[in-house]
Structure 1
Amino acid sequence: MKALPVVLPDNVHVFERGWLSSNNVLMLGRHEATLVDSGYLIHAPQTLDLVRHALKGRRLDRIVNTHLHSDHCGGNATLQAHYGSETLVPVSELDNVRHWDEDKLSFKATGQQCQRFSADGVLTPGDKLTMADMEWQVMGAPGHDAHSLLLYCPQEAILISADALWQNGFGVIFPELDGESGFIEERATLDLIASLDVRVVIPGHGAVFTDVAAALKRARTRLDFLSGNPVRNAEYAVKVLLKFLLLERQRMALADVPALFASLPIIQAASRRYLDKTPEETAEWTIKQLVRACSARVESGYLLNDG
């Protein structure tokens, strides 16, 4: 049976992006236009083109970030420079942005890029936000990221879930890599989503979907698997992080990967706490895993993106 098309209001536009960028959601109200999440830095020109085309001469008044991983806020600076857009970030990240604290923001820890941007205001769980002439509730969604938020519109039963829920899973539970709690929080976030009347989910990555119950079931099964042995979460994380960097660069000298891993705090923490390896040993293991999965290949001393 052919799946029914997902129906969104005419003034809600979803730009489904490929890796490395998150999806972007453009909300066109009568008096304001808002973009939820802005993709990765190297895709910023494409993000600007997508937004400019959809705005048809209008101004982008506001940027809203569900969380501040590089693939969700990497286009902020470009859009701010072009439109002067007001930008709202999770309340617990405001000082980190204003001081550009690279030890607290995630970019340095993961080796990913993000051009410095400004924050004009905050989103706090419990807030109500008007986007596309509809009221959206701001809800805390820790798990994947301690600061992450959900945006929920009861009027249309639409949920912007960011990386808390995808059609087939959720994002890496990063707090656990640093020895912080994340599995319990992710489970509570899934329970929160299950308690809402949701007709349509706009995830941070992948297609918009409507079968929320099935997605929640898959996510809970995945969470049980990862939390049952946290080493699995760490192994998944280092593979994701290397694949991300490889997607960005397309080729990396094999000899450079061990030093790269040794320089990244999040890899250092995962290697020490869960993998019982040095970062250099973790690099060797991760390369082998990507090659085995046909996600990368080795040629003439280089690791090349594949798959």
Structure 2
Amino acid sequence: MKLHPSIHVFERGWLSSNNVLLLGRHDAAMIDSGYVAHKQQTLDLVRHALHGRRLDRLYTTHLHSDHCGGNAALQAHFGCDTYIPEPEAEKVRHWDEDALSFKATGQQCERFSIDGVISAGETLTLGDLEWQVLGAPGHHAHSVIFYCPSEKVLVSADALWQNGFGVIFPELEGDEGFAEAAATLDVIAGLDAKLVIPGHGAVFEDVDAALSRARRRLDFLSADPKRNAEYAVKVLLKFLLLERQSMPVAEVVPLFASIPLMQAIASRHLGMSTEQLAAWAIKQLVRACSARVENELLLNDG
């Protein structure tokens, strides 16, 4: 199944989310902007695809740094109107670093402004096609996804990948997340989607198979919430390593100590000290061939 000619997907690595550019006859919109460390690459990709046109609108599926880190750069260059899920609006307007996820996860995001909000139940015209905005809590409590009924295309963010989904962060913060993630998978199953543009990874067509894998993964995690916590630690360390490419092993403990979410996971979910958690996380990445240790340096791998 081919994408409609108005839909352009920039598949990125795991540090930056995929970007979806929607080119209409009279305007251009984009969904998600990647991580701040890749902002120049994001800008170059968009400028090349626009061929001198302006980016008019920018939409963010959820306020994680790998999905909104390029917002400020795109705003500065194009002056595009920017929209985020409605419950996050005041946090962004006041740039509340304690309420936003960036500080808690040890990640970066340049401050950006917003021009409006999006809410579940809305219908938007993007790339001359009608897209439904659907609520997709689970990975993030206020995430949204976009579905185009005429093309049977779903922009699923981190609610559904070809093999799983993003960390269920609300569970780590003391809120319900597993049930919401299951409900979101039910919503996706109720659509007639034939092609999915995920937040990470390649565009795929085997929607039913992906949903089955996601449900099995969710059952595995929810059966023992410790598994979700362990997964989060590995993901967060891998993200930091992707950004830095290398770091002294001795700096991992103080780095973990500076990240509020790591501290919460260590004490609340895993019953470990910061030192124990850092040692465990390094061992797990090395075992998975996602990192290696050489000359007292932790190096990105895989």
Q: What range is the shorter-chain TM-score in?
A: over 0.9
How many angstroms apart in 2 are the aligned matches of 1:7 and 1:299? 45
2:223 equivalent to 1:225 = no
Which residue is 1:80 aligned to?
75
Cα offset for 1:105? 0.8
Deviations 1:98-157 (A, max 9, x none): 101111111101111111111110001111111011111111100000010011111111
Alignment correspondent of 1:288: 283
Of 261, 276, 300, the match for 2:271: 276
What is the aligned-residue RMSD (CA, Å)? Answer: 0.8
TM-score by length of 1: 0.97
Letter in 1 for 2:56: D
Deviations 1:179-213 (CA, angstroms, capped at 9, x unpaired):
11100000000000001111111100011111110
Give the drift of 1:255.
1.2
Residues 17-68 of structure 1 show CA distances to partners (whole Å, capped at 9, x for unaligned) of: 1121100000001111001000010111011111001001100001000001
CA distance in 1, matches of 2:51, 2:221: 45
Alpha-carbon separation, structure 1, partners of 2:232 and 2:274: 13
Aligned residues: 302
Distance 2:167 2:56 in 1: 31
4+ residue runs over 3 A deviation: none
The whole-number CA distance in structure 1 between the counterparts of 2:212 and 2:264 is 30
Identity of matched residues, %: 70
Amino acid at match of 2:81: E
Which one-letter code corresponds to 1:40 in the other structure?
A: Y
Give the Cα–Cα distance (whole angstroms) in 2 for the partners of residues 17 and 253 of structure 1: 27
Among 171, 175, 183, the alignment partner of 2:170 is 175
Q: Which residue number corresponds to residue 3 of structure 1?
A: none
CA–CA distance in structure 2, aligned partners of residues 108 and 133 of structure 1: 37
TM-score, normalised relative to structure 2: 0.99
The unaligned stretches of length 5 or more in structure 2 are none
2 CA distance for matches of 1:240 and 1:20?
11
- DSSP 3-state at the match of 2:214: helix
* Alignment pair present for 1:124 and 2:119: yes
- Give me the whole-angstrom Cα distance separating, in 2, the residues matched to 1:269 and 1:56: 47
Deviation at 1:279, TM superposition (A): 2.3
What is the one-letter code of the residue matched to 1:122?
V
> What do residues 142-179 of structure 1 show as CA deviations (whole Å, max 9, x unaligned)?
00000100111111111110000000000000111111
- Give yes or no for the alignment of 1:139 onto 2:104: no
